[in-house]
Amino acid sequence: MSKILILDDERQVIQQVSTLLESFGYDYDFIPKADFLFRKLDSDHFDLILLDINMAGRDGVSLLRELKSTEAYHDIEVIMMTGETDDRVLSECFELGAADYITKPIKELVLRARVKAVIDKQMYIREISKQKRLLAEQKAIVDEKNKNITDSIKYAKRIQEAILPDQAVLQSILPEHFILFKPRDIVSGDFYWFHQIDHRVVLAAVDCTGHGIPGAFMSMIGNICLKNIIKENPDIHANEVLNELHIQICTLLKQEQTDNRDGMDMALVIIDQDQKKMEFSGAKNPLLYFQNGYATKIKGDKTPIGSNWKRNQNERNFTNHVINLEVPTTIYLYSDGYQDQFGGEHNEKFMSKQLLELLTEIHAKPLTEQGHILDNKMAQWMVMGNESQLDDILIIGAKIDL
C-alpha cells in the first residue's frame, strides 16, 4: 500500500485530507510543522508528500528546494497544496521538481485524481526499474556465458592452428608460396594440408561443411584422416587419396545408417620432384596453374567427399590428372569462399571468372606480393558492397621450379 505524508499547518486541512486519503485506500501520516519533516522522512518511508506552500515559519517552496537538492529525498514525489494560484510561484515549484499542485479548498475528485496519477506513475517507474534490473542481471549472465563460450572457442583455435602445417617446413620445401587463410569465425571449416615423403610433396586446400565450430570439427577429422592415408600408402595417387578419404568420412560419420550429410570439397596435388610431374584430383574444387604465361584450369569432379554419398568405391572413383613440370609452374588451390563473397559496387558475388582474371594479371609477381594483393582486393570488395565476410576464405599459391 502506498504511504502519503501530509505537511500543513492548518488542522482542518490535515483532517480533511486524512479522511479522504483513508477513503481512497491509502496509508497516511501527517506533521503540522516543517521542522519535523526531515526527521520524519529519516524514520519512515513515504511515496508522496502533500506539501502546503504557505506555512508559518517556513514556506513550502524553499522546503521543496531542499527536498529535491538532497539525494536521500530527491526521488520522493511532491504535490503542492495552495490557496493561491500565482503562476510565478507554481512555475517555480514545477522547475524545482513538483509533480503537481492542488488548490484549496481541496475537492475530493481533484485530490483523488492528482494523487492517483502520481502514485500510478511511481508504480510504472518502479516496474520499469525492476525490469531494467532484471534485464541487466540477465544480460550479465548472458555476457558471462558468451565470454566463456568465446574463450573456449579461442582455445579451440589454438588447437586447430597447432595441427596446421609448420610454416618453416613448408617454406623449406616450397620457398615461393603464399597462403591466404581467413576464417569467417574464430575457428574455420577450411584448412590447408601439407606433407612430404621422400621426393613426393602433398598439398591440399580443403573446404569442410559449414564454418565455425561445426566446420572446425570436420577439419580435425579431415586432417587426421589425410595423415593416416598418406602414412599408410606413401606411393598413393592423388585420386586414391580422395577415394579413401571419402570411404573413411562415410564410415566415421555412419552416413550409410544416418541422415548425416557432412563432408568436404577439396583440391589436392602430389608433386613428384624426381619425376617432375604433378598429380591433381579434386572434389568439386579446381586446380589452376600457369606455365609460360598461359593459364590452365582443371575442374574437380562434381561429387564431394562424404556428404551422404554411397560408399561403393567404384561409383566414387575420383579422376586423376597428371601435369608435366618440366617448366616452371605456378599453381593455385582454393575453396569457394573468395569467389562467392558478395561485395563490389553492385553488391554481387566476386565470381570464379573475376578470380581467374585477377590471378592471370598477378601470377608473374612474387608469391608473397600476390597474397597481399588478393587480401587487399577482397577487403576493398567487401567495403564497396558494405558486406561482412560470409564464408571461410582459403587460397594457396606456390611456384614449382624443378
All structural domains of the chain, each given as residue ranges with its CATH number in brackets, are: 3-128 (3.40.50.2300), 164-400 (3.60.40.10)
- pLDDT value at 327 more than 80: yes
Least confident of 23-37, 99-113, 245-259: 245-259
pLDDT confidence bin for 314, thresholds 50/70/90? very low
What is the spatial distance between Cα 400 and Cα 234, in angstroms, rounded to a whole number? 21
Is residue 85 scored above 80 in pLDDT?
no
Contacts of 273 (CB under 8 A, 6+ apart): 199, 200, 201, 402
Residues in the chain: 402
Q: Write down the residue that cell numbers 578470380 correspond to.
A: 355
Torsion of Cα atoms, 221 then 223 then 224 then 227, to 10° = 150
Condensed to tens digits (0 to 9), the pLDDT of residues 121-149 reads 989 988 999 999 999 999 999 999 999 99
Nearest to 262 by CA among 210, 215, 307, 218: 307
Helix (H) or strand (E) holding 345: none
Residue 240: other Cβ atoms inside 10 A = 19
Closest C-alpha among 33, 4, 9 to residue 21: 4
Residue 390 pLDDT > 80, yes or no? yes
Lowest mean pLDDT among 24-28, 113-117, 175-179, 260-264: 260-264
What is the tens place of the pLDDT at every residue in 201-250?
999 999 998 778 888 899 999 999 999 999 999 999 999 999 999 999 98
The three cell numbers locating residue 84: 493561491
Q: Which residues pair with 137 in a beta bridge?
A: none
The answer to whether 382 and 341 have CB atoms below 8 angstroms apart is yes
Please tell me the predicted confidence (pLDDT) of residue 46: 94
Looking at residue 212, its pLDDT comes to 81
Residue 312 has pLDDT above 70, yes or no: no
Task: Answer whether residue 313 shows pLDDT above 60.
Answer: no
Report DSSP letters for 254-320, one per residue: TTTTS----EEEEEEEEEETTTTEEEEEEEB--EEEEETTEEEEEPPBSS-EETT----GGGG----
Instruction: Give the mean pLDDT of 243-260.
Output: 87
Phi and psi at residue 303, to the nearest 5°: -100, 145
Q: Are 14 and 106 in contact (CB under 8 A)?
A: no
DSSP H or E stretch at residue 46: none
pLDDT at 308 over 80: no
The bridge status of strand 321-324 relative to strand 277-283 is antiparallel
Place of cell 608433386: 271
Average pLDDT, the chain: 92
Q: 146 to each of 104, 142, 154, 189, 349, how far by Cα in Å? A: 59, 6, 12, 21, 32
